[in-house]
Amino acid sequence: MTYTYIIGPSHIYKDRIHMINSEIINNIYFKDCILDGYNGIPIWSNHILKSISDNYNKNYNICWIVSDYKFNNFNYPLILNIKNNENLFLNTKGCQGNVSKDFLEYNHIEVLGNHSLKVIDFIINKFPNIKLIFWCLYKRTKVNKNSSYPKHFWYDEIKKKYINNIIDIDLFTTPENFDLKTLDTGGHPNKDGYKLLDNMIKSTFY
């Protein structure tokens, strides 16, 4: 049996997936999957790197639901001072409500987004079979067509960049339909959203 390890933000945190507990218990959703979610975990969390490495070495399928660029955005001063990609990761798991209004301008997202892509590139290089789901980004820039994010960080651009590793949400739904499968502006899935996410995982790995 091959398990699929899925790491991500609050979308798969235990308090969120509680609404589909019976479906998980009865192997309707996420059969043979390990869901490992953390509230507000940033892309540059060292915990993500370590957890992916540990499960990759078990020969598990690996799926990373990539967080929003702005989670833990108060790390901006630290990230700004990183030189020569010496240490892309910070020792944090994030937390709920970890988005500071002080670091939400265009220039902040530019730095945080670029750093996030360096982290993703590093992880793909180290774990080439990993699959990525940009759920937050789809909600923020594909559903929300007025996103303030720089255009080169929008979902369609990121999809082209990671074409060999992405599980493309566009293949499974439309932006309008996706919006009906989320609970809020943060893109947290409702029951139909979890059904969609489960279908994406199954179609990719099984």
Supply the CATH number for residue 60's domain: 3.40.50
Question: 145 by DSSP, 3-state: which?
Answer: coil
User: Could you read off the pLDDT of 116-174 as tens digits, one per residue?
Assistant: 999 999 999 999 999 999 999 999 999 998 888 999 999 999 999 999 999 999 999 99
Helix (H) or strand (E) holding 154: none
Q: How many domains is the chain built from? A: 1
Q: Determine the Cα–Cα distance for residues 141 and 161; give it in Å rounded to an integer.
A: 16
Confidence of residue 82 (pLDDT cuts 50, 70, 90): confident
Tokens of 178: 């996706």
Strands, E assignment, the chain: 4-8, 33-37, 61-65, 131-133
Parent domain of 78:
4-205
Window from 21-30, 84-93, 99-108, 156-165 with minimum mean pLDDT: 84-93
